[in-house]
Amino acid sequence: MGMFPAVPDPIDSELQPMSMPPELEVLPEGGKVVGVVGHITRRKNLDLIARALCLTPSVTALVVGGKFEPGELERCQESLAQLSDSGTTVHIVDRSLEDSELAWLIERTAVVVVAHSSEGPSGILGMCAAIGTPVAAAGARSLRGDVRRLRCGTWSRLDELSLAEGIQAAERMRPTPALLAGSADFARAMLALDDAPGGVRP
């Protein structure tokens, strides 16, 4: 795995304040909630995630938190409607979340899905690892390496059936929150840096 020019800021899960987005006051207590968070572009594969969740009956709700790029919500409406018709409630928060709201949403969900083919470190995955929420990752090889190093979830191919199986496996996981309080620790975890200066693990 190669080096990348930028690494998201580390997250200290013990110090990160949490506040519920007011739009999610209607979210029922209990049940298994899957989250998709961040800037919602085509790269997030929300339509694929919705179709995979149709194959995952244990999930009771999907929460999508983050600003949609123009046209993306409309593009995904058919898949989201199919998911809703299958009995899984769909909650959309179409705006940029405050850090405290993002932390609350990640902590509240049973699984966060990070599914894309772009190689590079994922700030959302790192935040999930710090909080202790399992991740169902799919697609990029860098995501596969990150969930293995951080022991924070599963990785699958970027197709409906594989992702559904990955989500079901992630539901059963209880990751220990990663202590990524220092920038050097965070970089080492996300980029596989060896303890020796300049060293990189394969």
In the chain the domains, ranked by start, together with CATH numbers, are: 31-191 (3.40.50.2000)
48-75 pLDDT per residue, tens = 999 999 999 999 999 999 999 999 999 9
Q: Which residues make beta-bridge pairs with 114?
A: 137
| 155 or 191, higher pLDDT | 155
Q: What is the DSSP string of the chain?
A: ----S--PPP--TTT------GGGTTSPSSS-EEEEESSB-GGG-HHHHHHHHTT-TT--EEEEESPBPTTHHHHHHHHHHHHHHTT-EEEEE-SPPPHHHHHHHHHH-SEEEEEE---S--HHHHHHHHHT--EEEEE-HHHHHHHHHHT-EEEE-SSHHHHHHHHHHHHT--PPPP---SHHHHHHHHHTB-SSTT-B--
Amino acid 200: pLDDT: 27
134-189 pLDDT per residue, tens = 999 999 999 999 999 999 999 999 999 999 999 999 999 999 887 654 444 444 44
